Structure 1
Amino acid sequence: MSDVADASLAYEGVKRIEWADRSMPVLRQIRDRFEVDLPLSGLRVAACMHVTTETAGLIRTLQAGGASVALAASNPLSTQDDVAAALVHEYGAQVFARAGTDREGYYRHIHQALETGPDLVLDDGCDLVNTLHTERVDLLGTVRGGCEQTTTGVIRLHQMAREGALRFPMVAVNDTDTKHMFDNRYGTGQSTLDGIVRATNTLLAGKTIVIAGFGYCGRGLAERARGLGARVVVTEIDPVKALDAALQGYTVLPMSEAAPVGDVFITVTGNRDVITGEHLAVMKSGAILANSGHFDVEIDVRALADLAVAVHPGVRPQADEYILADGRRLVLLAEGRLVNLAAAEGHPAAVMDMSFADQALTCAWLAEAAPTLAPAVHEVPKDIDTEVARLKLASMSIAIDALTPDQEEYLHSWRLGTT
């Protein structure tokens, strides 16, 4: 039983899934391995993730490993209805996702995925895990463990663990190098600007782009915005990250000072109320507001609505124009949700190849290791991270050096020094 918008879209979905798959050689190699080893044989997996062509590659890999998979959407605006249809009608997964569904539909789909009684869970923002711990505690006894792939979700999981609320082990896939270093930096950096350009057709060269947050996502955005000729301003609450931004040549300001000078604002903090009514009140007419943090709480959309005397929805796809009392116009993209997935197609498949390879291998590891793990937030084993990087390099025909026996001895001995 599934809930998708239109079964007739399945053929188009298959074509796009196969296109993405060509850029995911690491995941293909793991899928081939899983078909032989069946590390997930007989297990039920419930996932709450963006329903995109790249995610389809992960779902197919888990199925190849012997799992049955139920997938709910982690964002109503990122759901690709043709992919959802293809996963159900061509690949045999259960999918509960419709593009543009409301909040009630969003949580109904999460509940439907959980009704399958999962052994393992995959989450993107912690909403599925949160629902398990608050509304479906009856299912907790069968869940062995799970993976979380976003910064926001990992933050929420650590909070649960500190309060003693987390009931099963969760692995912070987001924190492994081959995920956050590449997915967050190169994926978010490219796909966010892609979404902004698609939604507005604006020229970024010569613009002042304000980036709130200088973690891996913010760094990637700053690098690419500067490469396109923009002047980049960074806002931060962390002194170390702010110093890093300053030493890389970016202007660092508090948001109160950045608000009047910015042309484009991008939030990537994982926190709420980053851009508030106070900031909106002093922005230039024509300023563009975009969010690439996980949830739609970084830009205070309610404050924007309260300031507006008129709203022109859909002036362009995923762009709403708010007219303020003094005649200024502010443009909000993707309703304040993830602009890279709502207004574009999310990260390139070549980036998600590594992130989803981490997910697949971690699921296989969890299937065996979960009984030995405490109900806490765990790191991805280092050998999984290294294996994914090795496979990716091989797919790019890149060779690297290996340590000699003497070098190995030197690195592992405290007795050797200057000779």
Structure 2
Amino acid sequence: MDYHVKDLSLAEKGKLRIEWAEQDMPVLRQIRERFEKEKPLKDLVIGACLHVTTETANLMITLKAGGANVYLTASNPLSTQDDVAAALVKYFDIPVFAIHGEDRETYYKHLNMVLDKKPNITMDDGADLISLLHKERQDLIDNVYGGTEETTTGVIRLKAMAKEGVLRFPVIAVNDAYTKHLFDNRYGTGQSTIDGILRATNRLIAGSKFVVAGYGWCGKGVAMRARGMGADVIITEVDPLKALEAVMDGYRVMPMEEAAKIGDFFVTVTGNINVIDKHHLEVMKDGAIVSNSGHFDVEINLSALKEIAVETREIRDNVKEYKLKDGRRIYILSEGRLVNLAAAEGHPAQVMDMSFANQALSAEYVYKNAGKLEKTVYKVPDELDFEVARLKLNAMGIKIDTLTQEQKEYLSSWQHGT
């Protein structure tokens, strides 16, 4: 088998961790049981660029159970769990091309190794596979039926491509499914970000001023969890509607230029560049802890911080100290990459269960509709979204009401009045 992982001797530990996560992924389990019987993905080649974690492993196992030939690489060099990568190769015969901490050259080498397998469906977290296909590997695009995209940043990139008319195949925006962003982005990012900060720093959050840049679903989750731990939460935003919502939710809202002067903790969750810029870093107080849970390592202007720093040192795992000329110290977590994955283990399996159920069902949908979809970005079909919610409720032992025929007729008619 063609693969590139750190050490196959780590496989046993990885296998146990995959099994542990699987216990909390009942929706994916139900889909896998159906896939094993029906083989809806038979002979399909799927190239996946996702965070190589225990939850992702269970998605790969599900896709393979459906008959697909699956090839996995990492969407972030610091999120790869080497034991999980080894276990997928050794125990599940799923080729993985990912090593924790790999450099940029190796990262793109691994992307290309997956594309070399001529995938029929791409599965992205950040649109790197699709971007590479469109920029450098266009000869392979005719093999592709479509793709799926896991995260907000990737969806933004893909919608920009579709708007410019350069997207060469249809993509399902898994991130936009209700059973993804309402739960994964809010509860998953909220909990795992706090988990990463605590593992990296062991600092007390209660009583601190905790600045969250961006009040999308991820920002809402981080703010909610920080407030729950006793922090004074401050929101920075560029969207007036989201800023207003944050105010109505009881948070203080101010520009980053003001928040930078008083914050103890900072988390960026915007997907944009230089959200914390040089002039913000210059006014931060001694000991400020700065992290990112958005996407890529671009939200904090690290180049500018290196310019104004006179000394740096790695003071703890995932904590780098930058000392400024006047003696103030700023601490960057996980090199500005996703702190919830680099310093912790990413989202809990319970929420990734729904996200990855959407991935599996969307891959099936793309395959079933090959050649019928336009070259644009689609939302996850409502029937798939509702099916994931139904399966999740079923796994939780929760029953809900159903509309009577009379109620259905009332809602669909304009003649009943009020």
- Shift of residue 187 of structure 1? 0.2
Residue 164 of structure 1 and its aligned partner are, at CA, apart by 1.1
Q: In the alignment, is residue 389 of structure 1 matched against residue 389 of structure 2? A: yes
Q: What residue identity is the alignment partner of 2:343?
A: A
| Superposition map of 1:278-317 within 5 A | 278-313=279-314, 315-317=315-317
Alignment partners' CA distance in 2, 1:52 and 1:351:
14
Q: Secondary structure at the match of 2:406?
A: helix
For the residue of structure 2 that corresponds to 1:367, the secondary structure is helix
The SS at the match of 1:403 is coil
The residue that corresponds to 1:83 in the other structure is: 84
Matched AA of 2:154: G
SS of residue paired to 2:160: helix
**Mapping of residues 308-327 of structure 1, within 5 Å:** 308-313=309-314, 315-327=315-327
1:370 deviates by 2.7
| In 2: Cα distance, 1:247 partner to 1:359 partner | 34
8 Å contact kept, 1:167–1:375: yes
- Counterpart of 2:152 in structure 1 is 151
SS at 1:259 equivalent: helix
Moved more, 401-410 or 331-340: 401-410
Amino acid at match of 1:254: P
Aligned to 1:188, the other structure's residue is in SS state helix
- For the residue of structure 1 that corresponds to 2:371, the secondary structure is helix
Q: What displacement does 1:274 show?
A: 0.2
**How big is the shift at 1:311?**
0.3
Native 8 Å contact 1:169 1:370 kept in 2: no
Distance in 2 between residues matched to 1:408 and 1:390, nearest whole Å: 19
CA shift digits 1:112-160 (9 cap, x unpaired)? 0000000111000011100000011110010000100100000000111
1:44 partner letter: V
Name the count of aligned residue pairs.
Answer: 417
CA distance in 2, matches of 1:357, 1:144: 20
Which SS does the other structure have where 1:309 is aligned? Answer: strand
Q: Which residue is equivalent to 2:33?
A: 32
**Alpha-carbon distance in structure 2 between the residues aligned to 1:161 and 1:388:** 27
CA contact (8 A) 1:178 1:355 kept: yes
Q: Deviations over 1:213-232 (max 9, x none)?
A: 00000001111111100000
SS at match of 1:147: strand
Match of 1:330 in 2: 330
Instruction: Report the counterpart of residue 129 of structure 1 in structure 2.
Output: 130
Runs of 4+ in structure 1 over 6 Å off: none
Instruction: Map residues 181-330 of structure 1 onto 2, 5 A cutoff.
Output: 181-313=182-314, 315-330=315-330
CA distance in 1, matches of 2:210, 2:106: 35
Deviations 1:9-32 (A, max 9, x none): 111110000000000000001000
Distance (Å, rounded) in 2 between the aligned partners of 1:198 and 1:10? 24
What is the DSSP-based 3-state SS (H/G/I as helix, E as strand, rest coil) of the residue aligned with 2:369? helix
Q: Which residue of 2 aligns with 1:165?
A: 166
Which amino acid in structure 2 is aligned with residue 35 of structure 1?
E
RMSD, aligned CA? 0.5
C-alpha distance in structure 2 between counterparts of 1:344 and 1:102, whole Å: 20
Match of 2:370 in 1: 370
Q: Tell me the TM-score normalised to structure 2 length.
A: 0.99
3-state SS in 2 of match to 1:41 = coil
Matched with 2:416 is 416
% identical aligned pairs: 61
In 1: Cα distance, 2:6 partner to 2:69 partner:
21
Give the distance between the partners of 2:332 and 2:403, measured in 1 at CA: 52
1:71 matched to which residue of 2?
72
Q: Match for 2:9: what amino acid?
A: S
Contact 1:41 1:67 in 2 (8 A): yes
Instruction: Give per-residue Cα distances to partners, 1:51-91, cap 9 Å, x unaligned.
Output: 00000010000000000001010001000000000111110
Letter in 1 for 2:329: R
Post-superposition offset of 1:316? 1.2
Distance 2:67 2:395 in 1: 25
Aligned-residue offset at 1:405 = 1.1
Structure 1 counterpart SS, 2:4:
coil
User: How far apart in 2 are the matches of 1:338 and 1:165?
Assistant: 29
Aligned to 1:18: 19
> 2 CA distance for matches of 1:208 and 1:186?
21
